[in-house]
Amino acid sequence: KGRVTVPALRARKGGEPIVCLTAYTTPMAQRLDAYCDLLLVGDSVGTVVYGMDTTLAVTVDMMVNHGKAVMRGSKHACVVIDLPFGSYQESKEQAFRTAAHIMAETGCAAVKLEGGAELADTIEFLTQRGVPVMAHIGLMPQQVNTLGGFKSQGRDDAAAARVLADAKAVAKAGAFSVVIEGTVEAVARTVSAEINIPTIGIGASPACDGQVLVTEDMLGLFSDFTPKFVKRYANLGDLVEKAASDYAAEVKSRSFPADEHCYGIKNPGNLRAVN
Ligand code: KIV
Ligand code: NA
């Protein structure tokens, strides 16, 4: 049996919550695949893996390379790849060109783009031409310079109305699902109740039809910046440090490598006696 399909995800509206995580590499995708309905190759790769301050400098080539790696490491989840900043906002034609390139190069099933009502024409254009689109509203990290920072959204009536209008616009335009990021609970709840496509929350309440987290955040592998909405399910960063420190100590004491790690020792145990 193959991967979870876009129509299957779309049909999960109001049903069993949709499980999503980000993935950027083959080994991580291999570990996550069986537990996820959707693996998102997010442009968060720029901040999480490349150490960038924002996602703005992420390129299409980066998304293609990480997308290929995630496709190689997965066989069950639906793989969705982010369109990076500057690769789709100029026109619906530019968006189609970028999306088609990414889909053809990687074999992914869909793309995600940040934007609401202002991107509705683009979403409709892509959807009608064989490119399933996941929208991303609320806090849109590619708009960091317009927003003046990473701030939660929907805090007053006008802002709440904007998020709801964006959700309705992307659903009407044919998006198969929409990520709602960093948005107050009541707004995410209303949006989820009022649109007919699955909402995927990240800092947007359990009322959403599914959840997504950045994998490195939830594993404790990335701690430069930890938003309120992140829950730590593991502390792999600490494990990495412990392993590196143990290794360093053993190299310095020459207890690593031991006989079993060496070639051509016929009688393990004798080496140290000879020395
Ligand atoms: O880039 C990303 O990881 C994302 C998720 C946080 C939704 O867009
Ligand atoms: Na993203």
Would you say the CB of residue 80 lies under 6 angstroms from ligand 1?
no
pLDDT band at 269 (very low <50, low <70, confident <90, very high): low
Helix or strand or coil: residue 178? strand
- On the question of pLDDT at 274 being above 60, the answer is no
Span between the terminal Cα atoms of the chain, in Å: 58
CB 135 within 8 A of CB 197: no
Q: What is the pLDDT of residues 40-50, one digit of tens each?
A: 999 999 999 99
Half-sphere exposure of 167 (CA within 13 A, CB side): 30
Q: How far is the CA of 274 from the centre of ligand 1 (A)?
A: 57
Question: Tens digit of pLDDT for each residue in 1-21?
Answer: 899 999 999 999 999 999 999
Q: Is 202 in the pocket of ligand 1 (CB under 6 A)?
A: yes
**CA distance to 55, 74, 139, 229, per residue, from 201 (Å):** 19, 23, 11, 10
Task: Kindly list the protein residues that place their beta carbon closer than 5 angstroms to ligand 2, a single-atom ion.
Answer: 42-43, 82
Complex ipTM value:
0.99
Residue 78 pLDDT: 99
The whole-angstrom separation of Cα 94 and Cα 235 is 41
Domain coordinates in residue numbering, the chain: 6-234, 238-274
Residue to probe by mutation, ligand 1, list 58, 82, 144, 152, most atoms within 8 Å of CB: 82
For residue 74, the model assigns a pLDDT of: 98
Q: Is 216 an annotated catalytic residue? A: no
- Whole-prediction pTM value? 0.95
The CATH superfamily of 6-234 is Phosphoenolpyruvate-binding domains (3.20.20.60)
Q: How confident is the model at residue 268 (pLDDT cuts 50, 70, 90)?
A: low
Which pLDDT tens digit goes with each residue over 104-134?
A: 999 999 999 999 999 999 999 999 999 999 9
Contact predicate 173/194, CB 8 Å: no
